[in-house]
Each structure stands twice: as C-alpha cells, then as structure tokens.
Amino acid sequence: MGERFEFAIVGAGIAGASLAAGLAGHGRVALIEAEDRPGYHATGRSAAFWTESYGGPMVFPLTAASGPFLERHGLVTPRGALTLARADEAAGLEAFAAEFEGLGVRVERLDRAQIEARVPGLRAEWRHGVLEPDCSDIDVAGLHQLWLGQARRGGAELLCRARLARAERSNGHWRIELEDGRSLSADVLINAAGAWADDVAVRCGARPLGMQPLRRTMAQLDCGKRVPDDLPLTLGFDGSFYFKPEAGKLWLSPHDEIPSPPCDAAPDEIDVAQAIDRFEQVVDWPVRRLEHKWAGLRTFSPDRLPVYGFDPAAAGFFWFAGQGGFGIQTAPAAAELAVGLLLGQAGGAVDPAPFGPARFG
C-alpha cells in the first residue's frame, strides 16, 4: 500500500505549494511533482503582476483578498498598470473603468498628454488611457519558495520525478501509483496539476472538466537604451499586447492564447514576430535585438473561472485547477478558500460557490 498520507497533492507549482503549506499542520501531506524540480512549467515562466482588473469581475474578489498577504510578506513592488485605447475604443475603455471603479478599484482616466508622460514615444493613435495605480509586480519565485518552505517545516514531503500513473479509490482511501513503481495512499487526492489537470482526473477515474491549456509567448528585447524603471505595465484594451520593464530590458507579450496539449511549451517564431510588430505599432522605440524568448501554458476551465472543490461524483477527489493567467495574483486567497473546504471550515474572505466543480454538471 505504500506510505499513508491524509492529503496527496498532484503538482508542486504555486497552486500545489500553497495548499501544502496550508495543510501541513493538519495531517501528513505528500506533494507529488512529475518534474525534477517544482515550479518548472507555468509558475517558473510567469511575468506575474497583481492587477485587480485582470481576470475580470468574477476573479476580482480573489485578487483583492490576496493583496494584503503579498504586501505583508514583501512580495510585491509598485508598478502601475496602464490600459491604452484608440479613439474608436474609448467607450469600451470607459465602461471597463466604470465597472472596476464600482468594485472599489482605484482608476485614473488619462488624456493623451498624461499617457505620453508615462509611455514616451507613444504613437499618435493611442488617445485614451486608464491607469490602475495599485498594480504591482509579484516576486513569483519568492512566493513559491515561501510556501515550499512552510510546507517543508510543517512536515510535508516533496516527491520529485514522481509522475502519477493511476489512482484508485477503495475503502475510503486513494491508492496512488507512480510511474517509477512507487505507491502511496491518501484520504484526499488534490488535483493541482495545471495543464495536466484533466489528464490527472482521467488517471484517477474522474470525469475531465474540459480544461484547456493556452500557450502564452514572452520575449525580452534590447531597445538600445535602458527601459525606464518607472514604465507602467502597459496593456492594449483590445487584448493584443502588454509590456513591462525588467532590469532595464523590456518584457513583451502578444497576449496570445494558442490552444495546446499539456507540454513543455516553447515559443513559435511567428508569435514572437507578431509581438514585436504589435509593440512597434504602440511606440517608436528601436528594437535592437531579441535577447530571449519563452512560452508558458495558462489553463482555463470552460467558463474561464477557476475550479476549487470536491468532485461531486468522485469521493475524496478535490479540484484546484483552471487558474488561467491570474493564478499567481490570486494564489493566497485561493489557497485559503481551498484549505477551508478541505478541512470543512466555514467562512473565509471569498465565497467558494462560483468556483465549485459541480457547476459543470
């Protein structure tokens, strides 16, 4: 039967690490990671920022509730987020600003002169802007290591190079077999496998929910001179780009969402070229050279909201998946919510009802 645990968590990225930290004092925890090290895939490739509008109004409560934790642990640095729009997008940008302002998000409407003061060299067609001054960069590696350290000190066991082969529920426990021949058992099996969440469900005899990994491309550019450190995270209202400074360089994305199977994602040359072309349509900065390119997978449920909760048809199988591109900025509140559900504790800062797996029928 192998070693016995109360909780077995599949996936040791930011999602799995956060749950391991929260559960470690409430029973034996196994953190099962297929790769040589935790955080190799989406967690390790994120250009994460904490932006209250990112993910939409339904995700906002998770983002807002996560902010104090990130600030308390010194994991955020002020950045500001500036959403740009052309003249024909002005009404949509205003509706966006009004919606989040109604939720309590601080927003500032900027005219052309105010925008150009923040983004020098801006091309003429970008006439309107909305600034979210509270946007911050997130120290993703620091957050991940914080939770891995807490989990380890609480007695959680990290098993790397431990790819799940299959799991079966019997007599109130999960018998879990790994591809290398190891086995263990657990009362609760938690699916925090990111892009592999549906695959894990199938290997456990649970119904997949239709999780879709989407590839996101990133590029680092040398623009011939140091990119201003105070440049805000700059996004297109039409969802076609975002860019931000990073140690004097520029990090850029075409904001792409290319359907992909679960894999070790790699950037496509055409997506990198598209990112640079879109950037050159926003500002007149020279692009001296492409220094680095990478890609990661952001995994969404069918309704693009995360999935947190026990599977209604698979006893002891808990979903913690579908966190898309907002998984890191919402991680503290999501972990608190999920730990409460796993331990049968009521309350918490965020209502779990919209995120339960039962909504998919």
Q: How far apart are CA 149 and CA 334, in angstroms?
A: 19
Phi (first) and psi of residue 33, to 5 degrees:
-125, 125
Mean pLDDT (the chain, rounded): 95
Q: How far apart are CA 94 and CA 72, in angstroms?
A: 33
Q: How far apart are CA 224 and CA 283, in angstroms?
A: 14
State residue 36's pLDDT score: 86
Other residues' Cβ atoms within 10 Å of the Cβ of residue 220? 17
Q: How confident is the model at residue 46 (pLDDT cuts 50, 70, 90)?
A: low
Long-range contacts of 101-109, Cβ-Cβ distance < 8 Å, separation of 24 or more: 103/52, 103/57, 103/60, 104/64, 105/52, 105/53, 105/60, 105/132, 105/134, 106/132, 106/133, 106/134, 107/131, 107/132, 108/133
In this prediction, residues 90-96 reach a mean pLDDT of 98
What domains lie within the chain, and their CATH numbers?
A: 3-44+140-210+302-360 (3.50.50.60), 81-133+212-300 (3.30.9.10)
State residue 248's pLDDT score: 87
Is the pLDDT at 353 greater than 60? The verdict is yes
Phi (first) and psi of residue 113, to 5 degrees:
-65, -40
> 232 and 118 in contact (C-beta within 8 Å)?
yes
Tokens describing residue 54: 């990112």
Q: How far apart are CA 8 and CA 175, in angstroms?
A: 10
User: Over the stretch 198-231, which tens digit does the pLDDT of each residue have?
Assistant: 999 999 999 999 999 999 999 999 998 899 999 9
> 129 and 1 in contact (C-beta within 8 Å)?
no
> 329 and 61 in contact (C-beta within 8 Å)?
no
Q: What percent of the chain has pLDDT over 70?
A: 97
Is the pLDDT at 197 greater than 80? The verdict is yes
> 130 and 105 in contact (C-beta within 8 Å)?
no
> Residues 150-168, buried b or exposed e (16+ Cβ, 10 A)?
bbeeeebbbbeebebeebe
State residue 84's pLDDT score: 98
In this prediction, residues 324-328 reach a mean pLDDT of 92
| Residues forming beta bridges with residue 245, ordered by sequence position | 250
State residue 300's pLDDT score: 97
Tokens describing residue 189: 């099996």
pTM over 0.85: yes
Phi (first) and psi of residue 219, to 5 degrees:
-140, 145
Is the pLDDT at 40 greater than 70? The verdict is no
Give the DSSP per-residue string, 58-86.
TTHHHHHHHHHHHHHTT-EEE--EEEEEE
